[in-house]
Amino acid sequence: MGLDVPAPEILRARADALRAARGWLWDQGFIEIEAPALVRSPALEEHLEALPAGGAFLHTSPEFALKRVLASGLGRVFAITPCFRGEEWGPNHSVEFTMLEWYRIGTGHEGILEDCEALVGAAAAALGQRLPPFERLAYAEAFRRHAGAEPPEDPVEADRLWVNDVEPRLLAPTFILDYPADRCAFASVRGAYAERFELYWGGLELANAFTELLSPDELRARFAHNNAARIAAGRAPYPVDERLVRAIGQHPRAGGIALGVDRLIMRLVGASDIRDVRVLG
């Protein structure tokens, strides 16, 4: 039987990349927060399936906790933490995985984009790699360039075309921008567009970032909308975290990002399966 442990050189590379990422964040004035793994409300997004645990949930990300800390008065915060999501299968997914999230006031997704490129570059440099400048591509242009079509109005068809025709062709490190306003999650909306981006590399989504929503009423409406969608799909609705709703109304303009650590390591070491870059339970 195997040990379910990556090769020593991969574990060393993972440690070096994480040390560099942490160092970059500390150098930029971010404070590391220990986010709770057991939470009252696990997610906003209707498609995320949280794991129940002892009358609560295992968190799907440290997002809710970090936003409450942001509202408490710390202007730059981050967490590197195990996260848990059910119904996650395949070489790019794991029920347990590691997430790096950071948030800072005084900027939107544009500033977080610059952070992201610098942090990923620092992690690569720690492994002796130098990445090319990251590409920037609008969501609609990605469809035109890689699928030969405009984005479909039907969200199910748009997702199918994205996963099958667009995503696999995003090989260079690429920021996807100008998402439609109806694909906003926690992002602020400006006209027809959500203020957000995603980072792709080697056909794999690594990060998702927003100009953070500032309206408690809008957040409550999004919880209601997504819970209605969960109920319609035969899934249980998630509790609304009232502390988060209050926090959204207490901090100024801010940007935030969630970056999948395991997926970043996969790209840095050339692994094709997430199980090759993390110790398995």
pLDDT in tens, 91-106: 999 999 999 999 999 9
Q: Residue 172: pLDDT above 90?
A: yes
This prediction's pTM? 0.95
pLDDT score of 66: 97
The answer to whether residue 161 is domain-embedded is no
Domain that holds residue 17: 8-132+242-276
What is the share, in percent, of the chain residues with pLDDT greater than 90?
88
Residue 186 pLDDT level (bands cut at 50, 70, 90) = confident
The answer to whether residue 109 is domain-embedded is yes
Query: If you compute the radius of gyration of the chain from its CA atoms, what whole number of angstroms results?
Result: 18
The answer to whether residue 254 is domain-embedded is yes
| Residue-averaged pLDDT of the chain | 95
pLDDT score of 95: 96
Mean pLDDT of 188-196: 92
Partner residues linked to 200 by β-bridges: 174, 205
CATH code: domain of residue 47: 3.30.930.10
Which residue is associated with the tokens 């002796």?
Answer: 128
Residue 2 pLDDT level (bands cut at 50, 70, 90) = confident
The answer to whether residue 160 is domain-embedded is no
Pairing of strands 38-39, 96-105: unpaired
Q: Residue 185: pLDDT above 80?
A: no
pLDDT score of 88: 78
- Distance CA(161)–CA(18), nearest Å, equals 34
CB 88 within 8 A of CB 267: no
pLDDT score of 264: 98
DSSP per residue over the chain, as a string? Answer: -------HHHHHHHHHHHHHHHHHHHHTT-EE----SEES---SSTT-BPEEETTEEE-S-SHHHHHHHHHHT-SEEEEEEEEE-BS--STT--SEEEEEEEEEET--HHHHHHHHHHHHHHHHHHTT--PPPPEEEEHHHHHHHHHSSPPPSSHHHHHHHIIIIIGGG--S-EEEE-EETTS-TTB-EETTEESEEEEEETTEEEEEEEEBP--HHHHHHHHHHHHHHHHHTT-PPPPP-HHHHHHHTTS-SEEEEEEEHHHHHHHHHT-SSGGGSS---
pLDDT score of 193: 92
Q: Which of 135, 106, 101, 136 is nearest to 119 (CA)?
A: 101
pLDDT score of 230: 93
88 vs 159, residue with greater confidence: 159
Residue 275 pLDDT level (bands cut at 50, 70, 90) = very high
Q: Tell me, what amino acid is at 111?
A: G
pLDDT score of 87: 84
The answer to whether residue 73 is domain-embedded is yes
pLDDT score of 40: 94
- As for how many domains the chain has, the answer is 1
The model's pLDDT over 105-146, given as tens digits with 9 standing for 90+, comes to 999 999 999 999 999 999 999 999 999 999 999 999 999 999
Q: How many CB atoms lie within 10 A of CB 84?
A: 20
The answer to whether residue 225 is domain-embedded is no
pLDDT score of 1: 60
Mean pLDDT of 182-186: 81
The answer to whether residue 104 is domain-embedded is yes
The model's pLDDT over 13-54, given as tens digits with 9 standing for 90+, comes to 999 999 999 999 999 999 999 999 999 999 888 889 999 998
Contacts of residue 153, defined as CB under 8 A and 6 or more positions apart, other chains included, come to none
The answer to whether residue 38 is domain-embedded is yes
The model's pLDDT over 243-255, given as tens digits with 9 standing for 90+, comes to 999 999 898 999 9
